[in-house]
Amino acid sequence: MGKHKTPMLDELENGPWPSFVSDIKQQVEKGKHILKDAPDDLLGVLEMSYEDKVTHWKHGGIVGVFGYGGGIIGRYCDQPQQFPGVAHFHTVRVNQPSSKYYTTKFLRELCDLWDRHGSGLTNMHGSTGDIVFLGTTTDHLEPLFYDMTHELNQDLGGSGSNLRTPECCLGMSRCEFACYDSQEACHQMTNAYQEELHRPAFPYKFKFKFDACPNGCVASIARSDMSVIGTWRDDIRINQEAVKAYVGGELKPNAGAHSSRDWGKFDIIAEVINLCPTNCMCWDGSKLEINNAECVRCMHCLNVMPRALRIGEDRGASILFGAKAPILEGAQMSTLTVPFMKMEPPFDELKELIEKVWDWWMEEGKNRERLGELIQRKSMQEFLRVIELEPDPRMVDEPRSNPYIFWKEEEVEGGWTRDIEVYRTKHPR
């Protein structure tokens, strides 16, 4: 049994959902990890926080490995005497494979590595995507990194004011909606920008995420400074026989996603035609028609009838910039910037765009200013100029309503230099 009394945490062993407390306790008892006291003392300090209702981690902590400016989050307990096992409790971010497929062999190698150098506790995975090794001491960091690179051929992820670990949806590996290879794009961008990922050189953090369609299974539009979201620009492919099979009840709407409740018989008019946000669909009782020119590719009809409707064949991605959490200037989602770009390896056009954006932000961005805030401060127009894109009505939800319009001097005939005396010859004081 553990060495600390944890009556409150013990309560969290009850109930059906997997209990992190039970799991940590099993690591205390069975684990072969080197930092013997760490899981036990983690429970101890967590119990203390449950009593005090305040965290017991000291502010900040700067640790790392030679050659890199990030990848490890330093952490020290503010009660080291009572909980020596977590006096140092640093987190190591390990760059996960695109969309998190593993073989058991590799998973075990990771476990063995972490047993030799840490607490035996992990986060699978951090919200940015990394495999998170939770809790080790400073003297283990270099040996851990050495073994990880030499034995596993595996690198750290990002932290600090740099490119963070990119992440993607599972894309073409197991989804019929994928409009480009989000995994390959994610992998290639991660490798192309290793320097930017490991050595902080930016005003603040920067994230890439890759969704292969507008369903957004990796939430790129909300959680990345650059969101690459797959789409198509030709027609939705319709299999009329399969549409009839949905109408006839042989196929389950939305692949059966609502099947635990009786929503009545599938009604194509109510569930598809009338919910289309642009009203561009039509069903006459035997044939489904889509006015594709008016479709905004919201995915609804494809999601409801995946066996009847398929994405088009002229595929690529939309690129949006600027999402961020509220600090400092308020939360933002990414703004549509490039409506359509082809997405074929080696993704040269995308790289060119990324580098233009970085050049500008690295030059103009203030300390700890996210890209989305810089665009707000300097204007969307300025952003478009530096990345050399023409303005397009697709980039706005609506045109401005205030008339406080800036004009460039060269746009106005005669320029701005005027002589009041000339004016006075026609308009006496």
Please give the residues from 240 up to 279 whose contact with ligand SF4 meets the rule CB under 6 A.
276-278
How far apart are the C-alpha atoms of 195 and 18, rounded to whole Å? 39
Among 2, 4, 22, 235, binds other proteins (CB under 8 A): 22
* Residue with Cβ nearer ligand HEM (215 or 382): 215
How far apart are the C-alpha atoms of 364 and 354, rounded to whole Å? 15
Least separation, in Å, of the C-beta of 373 and ligand HEM?
Answer: 11
> Site map for other proteins, 172-201, x if CB under 8 A?
xxxxx-x--x-x---x--xx--xx--x---
Please list, in sequence order, all residues whose beta carbon lies within 8 angstroms of the beta carbon of residue 50, skipping any fewer than 6 positions away: 8, 9
Half-sphere exposure of 240 (CA within 13 A, CB side): 9
- DSSP letter for each residue of 236-281: PEE-HHHHHHHHHTSS-GGGGTTTTS---S--HIIIIITT-TT--E
* Residue with Cβ nearer ligand SF4 (142 or 313): 313
Contact set with ligand HEM (CB under 6 A): 73, 93, 99, 125-130, 132, 157, 165, 169-170, 174-177, 207, 215-219, 223, 254, 257, 303, 306, 325, 327
Least separation, in Å, of the C-beta of 314 and other proteins?
Answer: 15
Least separation, in Å, of the C-beta of 151 and other proteins?
Answer: 10
> Site map for ligand SF4, 13-42, x if CB under 6 A?
------------------------------
Residue 123 lies near other proteins (rule: CB under 8 A): yes
How far apart are the C-alpha atoms of 62 and 68, rounded to whole Å? 12
Residue 121 burial by Cβ neighbours in a 10 Å radius (0-12, 13-18, 19+): buried
Asked if residue 346 lies in contact with residue 191, where contact means CB atoms within 8 angstroms, the answer is: no
Q: How far is CA 157 from CA 118, 208, 225, in A?
A: 17, 13, 17
Among 217, 219, 245, 395, binds ligand SF4 (CB under 6 A): 217
Question: Which residue's beta carbon is nearest to the bound ligand HEM?
Answer: 126
DSSP assigned state of 372: H
336, containing H or E segment: strand 335-341
> Site map for ligand SF4, 139-178, x if CB under 6 A?
------------------------------xxx---x-xx
Among 40, 88, 91, 163, binds other proteins (CB under 8 A): 91
- DSSP letter for each residue of 171-214: GGGT-TT-SS-HHHHHHHHHHHTHHHHHS--SSS-B-EEEESST
How far apart are the C-alpha atoms of 90 and 423, rounded to whole Å? 72
Angle at 311 between CA 308 and CA 317, to 5 degrees: 160
* Residue 307 site contact among other proteins, ligand SF4, ligand HEM, none (CB < 5 to 8 Å, cut-off depends on kind): other proteins
How far apart are the C-alpha atoms of 416 and 300, rounded to whole Å? 52
Q: Interaction with ligand SF4 in 178-197: which residues (CB under 6 A)?
A: 178
How far apart are the C-alpha atoms of 170 and 186, rounded to whole Å? 11
> Site map for ligand SF4, 289-328, x if CB under 6 A?
-x----xxxxxxx---------------------------
Among 280, 333, 341, 395, binds ligand SF4 (CB under 6 A): 280
Residue 49 lies near other proteins (rule: CB under 8 A): yes
* Residue with Cβ nearer ligand SF4 (20 or 380): 20
Q: How far is CA 400 from CA 109, 330, 405, in A?
A: 56, 20, 9
Preceding omega of 56 cis (within 30 degrees of 0): no
* Residue with Cβ nearer ligand HEM (175 or 389): 175
Counting residues that bind other proteins (by CB under 8 A) gives 142
* Residue with Cβ nearer other proteins (36 or 356): 36
Please list, in sequence order, all residues whose beta carbon lies within 8 angstroms of the beta carbon of residue 23, skipping any fewer than 6 positions away: none
Residue 196 φ then ψ, to 5°:
-70, -25
* Residue with Cβ nearer ligand HEM (8 or 222): 222
Q: Which stretch binds ligand SF4 (CB under 6 A): 15-23, 103-111, 199-207, 214-222?
A: 214-222
* Residue with Cβ nearer other proteins (6 or 357): 6
Residue 26 lies near other proteins (rule: CB under 8 A): yes
* Residue 93 site contact among other proteins, ligand HEM, ligand SF4, none (CB < 5 to 8 Å, cut-off depends on kind): ligand HEM
* Residue 413 site contact among ligand HEM, ligand SF4, other proteins, none (CB < 5 to 8 Å, cut-off depends on kind): none
Contact residues: ligand SF4, CB under 6 A: 169-171, 175, 177-178, 211-213, 215-217, 276-278, 280-281, 290, 295-301
